[in-house]
Amino acid sequence: MSLFKSKKLLGLALGTTMALTAGAAAAKTTLTMYYPVAVGGPLTKIVDGIVADFEAKNPDIDVNAIYAGNYNDARIKALAALKSGKPAQLSVMFSIDIYDLIEQDAIVAFDDIVSTEEDRKWLKSFYPALMENGQTLGKTWGIPFQRSTIVMYYNKDAYRAAGLDPENPPTTWNALVDAGKKLTKKDGSQWGIMIPSTGYPYWMFGALTKQNGQVLMNSDGNETYFNNPKVVEALSFWKDLSVKHGVMPKGAIEWGTLRQNFLEGKTAMMWHSTGNLTTVKKKAKFDFGVAMLPGNPSRGTPTGGGNFYIFKKSSAEEKKAALKLIKFMTSADNAAKWSMETGYIGVSPAAYDTKKLQAYAKNFPPAAVARDQLKFATAELSTYQTGRVRKLLDDALQSVIAGGKAPADALGDAQTRAEKLLKPYK
């Protein structure tokens, strides 16, 4: 401890001396980063706050953090910036963009930037489940930042009213359907459950398939398993929730308005990103709980969200500064703060060891659910040509849930088309 402290002091002293000697003549490094937001709440303010802290501690680095919309927008903007005159040096982008970014030759692997033993240790300090989407070809390309899993938010008051135990939410598909039936009111004023089928349907589906014991793609990103019988079964279950069991409304359920539906008591349970947790906590006027998703039989969820990437087109100096910024933003303290203010997962075990987060989770147990669920987590759907492959699956899912197509047909078509797209990458 004392060694660590003195090291820190030494660093500080060294830094000060260097700053003094170099004086104002030292050139400032300016970093531009784009980042997305896909959940509720004033997240841009929080990011700006952390960035301001970083700038205060690193006067030689200026950070220009630009909020760019949703994940799709952020990737488009960052890549567009690379081609135009004002490139970004790092960005938070969708964790599943990795293959496209590699194919575009846009990013560098962190293994090629880190130099010290300490840095290499840092690379290993995150939850392994969160690293899955950031690693391929034997290297690490993305560092987890705004990462989430899907959790089940449920209305405890509604549970009580329906004679269900609010402390024991369903842990299996069958129990989920049973609970849903008790919670669904005949007059349509309250549904049992809502699983969003717009925005990120493939993500929700990734949870259902994992629970049914099957993943959607291989780790090389060139093979999908959309027509696997267990995948088809998972989709049948999703469809049956509305068609057969009548516990979920028919048609597509909108990702963006679902939170309002839950807060208004129109559904007793919703599956949504853990990134919504803090906003739900602030706005819910009833007693609510957060549970891990149920299983059939084993639990499962994909991880989700955004990773840090560093762009190839930046100078060695900029890469160094970018790495520094990433380390700062994912440090235990900041990860803890970020997790408390949003509901996203603290990306490393160290974050959950901080006093702040421990105290917070003790007071508010839902804060730890997403983390606990990581042991059941798998990677989010990510392949080469990921946008297209994802759209194939999204369309197939919507054609079944909203359009009445047979699950096997829709998924079979999607698989055939995905195979065609991925053929060149084998």
Partner 1 sequence: MNPSLSYLRKAVTVVGAWLLAILWISPLLFAFWAAFHNPEDAIHFDLTAPLTLGNFVEAWNQAPFPRYMLNTFLLVTGLLAAQMILATLAAYAFARFNFVGGGIAFSLILVQLMITPEILIVENYATIADLGLADSLTGIGLPYAASAFGIFLLRQTFKSVPRELDDAARMEGCGTLGILWRVYVPLAMPTYLAYGLVSISHHWNNFLWPLVVSNSVETRPLTVGLAIFGAPESGVDWSIVSAATLMSVAPLLIAFLLFQRQFIRSFMASGIK
Partner 2 sequence: MNFMGNRHVIGWLLISPAAILLVTFTHYPAVTTFFSSLFSRGNPIRPSKFVGADQYLALLDDPVFWTVLENNLYYAIGTIPASIALAIAMALLVDRALAGTGFLRLAYFTPTILPMIAVANIWLFFYTPEIGLLDRLLNPIGIETPNWLGDPSTALLSLIFITIWKEAGFFMIFYLAALQAQSPELKEAAKLEGASAFTFFRRVTFPLLMPTTLFVLVNAVLNSFKLVDHIFILTKGGPDNASSLILYYIYETAFSFFDTPYASALTIILLLFLGILALIQFGVLERRIHYR
The residues binding partner 1 (CB under 8 A) are 37-45, 64, 66-70, 73, 77, 80-81, 83-86, 199, 254-257, 259-260, 263-264, 276, 279, 283, 285
Candidates 34-42, 140-148, 193-201, 358-366: pick the segment binding partner 2 (CB under 8 A).
193-201
Segment interacting with partner 2 (CB under 8 A) among 4-12, 103-111, 119-127, 164-172: 103-111
Q: For residue 261, state whether it binds partner 2 (rule: CB under 8 A).
A: yes
Out of partner 2, partner 1, none, what residue 251 binds, judged by CB under 5 to 8 A for its kind, is partner 2
- Whose tokens are 């309002």? That residue is 260
Q: Return the half-sphere exposure (C-beta side, CA atoms, 13 A cut-off) of residue 219.
A: 12
The C-alpha torsion from 273 through 185 and 177 to 155, rounded to 10°, is: 40
On whether the CB atoms of residues 222 and 299 are closer than 8 A, the answer is no
- Beta carbon of residue 170, minimum distance to partner 1 (angstroms, whole number): 25
Among 171, 398, 406, 412, binds partner 2 (CB under 8 A): 398
Only segment of 42-50, 115-123, 233-241, 247-255 that touches partner 2 (CB under 8 A): 247-255
Q: CA–CA separation, 351 vs 339, rounded Å?
A: 9
**Strand duo 191-194 + 267-273: pairing:** parallel
Q: Is 257 in the site for partner 2 (CB under 8 A)?
A: yes
CB 367 within 8 A of CB 361: yes
Q: Is 264 in the site for partner 2 (CB under 8 A)?
A: yes
Question: Which CB, 16 or 260, lies closer to partner 1?
Answer: 260
State how beta strands 301-311 and 90-94 pair. antiparallel
Q: Which does 279 bind (CB under 5 to 8 A by kind): partner 1, partner 2, none?
A: partner 1
Quick check: 318 binds partner 2 (CB under 8 A)?
Answer: no
Any contact of residue 388 with partner 2 (CB under 8 A)? yes
What would the x/- binding string for partner 2 be over residues 62 to 81, using CB under 8 A? ----------x---x--x--
Closer CB to partner 1, residue 44 or residue 218?
44
Reference 209, options 230, 229, 193; nearest CA is 230
Smallest separation, CB 14 to partner 1 (Å): 35
Binding partner of residue 295 among partner 1, partner 2, none, CB cut-off 5 to 8 Å per kind:
none
What one-letter code names the amino acid at 226? F
Task: Compute CA 196 distance to the chain's CA centroid, rounded to the nearest angstrom.
Answer: 16
Comparing CB distances to partner 2, the nearer of 271 and 328 is 271
Tokens 């949870």: give the residue.
Answer: 207
Q: Minimum distance from CB of 395 to partner 2 (Å)?
A: 5
Which of 264/372 has CB closer to partner 2? Answer: 264
Q: Tally DSSP H helices, then E strands, for the chain.
A: 19, 12
Task: Please select the residue that binds partner 2; options are 40, 41, 199, 300, rule is CB under 8 A.
Answer: 199
83 binds, among partner 1, partner 2, none (CB under 5 to 8 A by kind): partner 1
* Residue 422 bridge partners (DSSP): none
Q: Where are the beta strands (DSSP E) in 156-225?
A: 191-194
Tokens of 187: 């007059």
Axis-axis angle for helices 43-57, 332-342 (nearest 10): 160
* 218 is an interface residue for partner 2 by CB under 8 A: no
Paired tokens of 78 = 């960052």
Give the shortest CB-126-to-partner 1 separation in angstroms: 25
Helix, strand, coil share of the chain (percent; to 5): 55, 15, 30
Q: From the list partner 1, partner 2, none, which binds 86 (C-beta under 5 to 8 Å, kind-based)?
A: partner 1
CB 191 within 8 A of CB 266: yes
The whole-angstrom separation of Cα 230 and Cα 419 is 18
CB of 34 to partner 1, least distance (A): 8
DSSP string, 96-108: GGHHHHHHTT-EE
Return residues touching partner 2 (CB under 8 A): 72, 76, 79, 100, 103-105, 188, 197-199, 249-254, 256-257, 260-261, 264, 266, 385, 387-388, 391, 394-396, 398-399, 401-403, 424
